[in-house]
Structure 1
């Protein structure tokens, strides 16, 4: 059978003491260090996750702001186009009104000139008629001279009337 001698007992006692010493001085501190490292790594993961969440939130805010800025720039461009179109229309209408005013003014000026010319022609015709009548009444005009005076009167009246149209 198995015999237990004293060396074996001392060896077992030495092993137990060595185990207790290693556990107390080596395994305990190593386990504590490993536990601290585990906590530190977990904290690092939590911090990284928090930082990533913050980065995603900021990215979303920036994308929203950028989208808003794009919409605002599109709106500003559209407003500028509308304003330019309104200004263009206003200028066109104003130019049309000025042209109408100038056209009316020119028509009125032509009408006034025509009236003045007609008055002048009437007075010239009256003068010619009076001169012709005076020659006819003076009595020394025969029928041939009367016809010549009448033709001259028509010729001069026609020339004056032609000048009025020019």
Structure 2
């Protein structure tokens, strides 16, 4: 049976106290230290994570601002390119108009010059034909009249016609 004696009870209490001290020294303290280290490591990890998250948020804001700036700059570049293209287009159109105008003026002057040359050529040809006709007429009439009078009359008529170009 169970006997309860003071020496037994005292011995059990001493055993329990020694057991408690041993457990405290070899088990509870190392486990507590490990728990504290883990707790500190977790707290540091959380602090690092929130610092990284804040840094990421800041970088995102910087990226968003840079992207907005890049968009604004690209819009400005496109507008500038459009302005330059329009100015170049206007310049090219003005040059083309100017060249077309000068070509048109040149063509008009060439046409007028050719008309004048053609008129002169036709007048010369008409004069030549008239001379040939007059020669035939004169040769026929010389038989009937004196040569000198016919030639003088012909030259007066041809000279009047040649000096007055309005009688086309």
TM-score bucket (shorter structure):
0.5 to 0.7
Per-residue deviation, residues 122-142 of structure 1 (Å, max 9, x unmatched): 8899997xx8xxx9xxxx9xx
Q: Which runs of 5+ in 2 are unaligned?
A: 139-143, 145-156
Counterpart in the other structure of 2:74: 73
**Which 5+ residue runs of structure 1 have no aligned equivalent?**
141-152
Alignment of 1:13-52 (within 5 A): 13-52=14-53
Q: Are 2:100 and 1:99 equivalent residues in the alignment? A: yes
Tell me the distance in 2 between the aligned counterparts of 1:80 and 1:97. Answer: 25
The root-mean-square deviation of aligned C-alpha atoms, in Å, is 3.6
- TM-score if structure 2 supplies the norm length? 0.61
Number of corresponding residues: 136
* C-alpha distance in structure 2 between counterparts of 1:109 and 1:38, whole Å: 103
Distance in 2 of aligned mates of 1:92 and 1:5: 124
Instruction: Tell me which residue corresponds to 2:91.
Output: 90
Distance in 2 (alpha carbons) for counterparts of 1:120 and 1:7: 160
Per-residue CA distance 1:79-101 (angstroms, 9 max, x = gap): 22211111111111111111111
- Cα distance in 1 for residues equivalent to 2:42 and 2:126: 123
Compare 71-80 and 116-125 and name the one that shifted more: 116-125
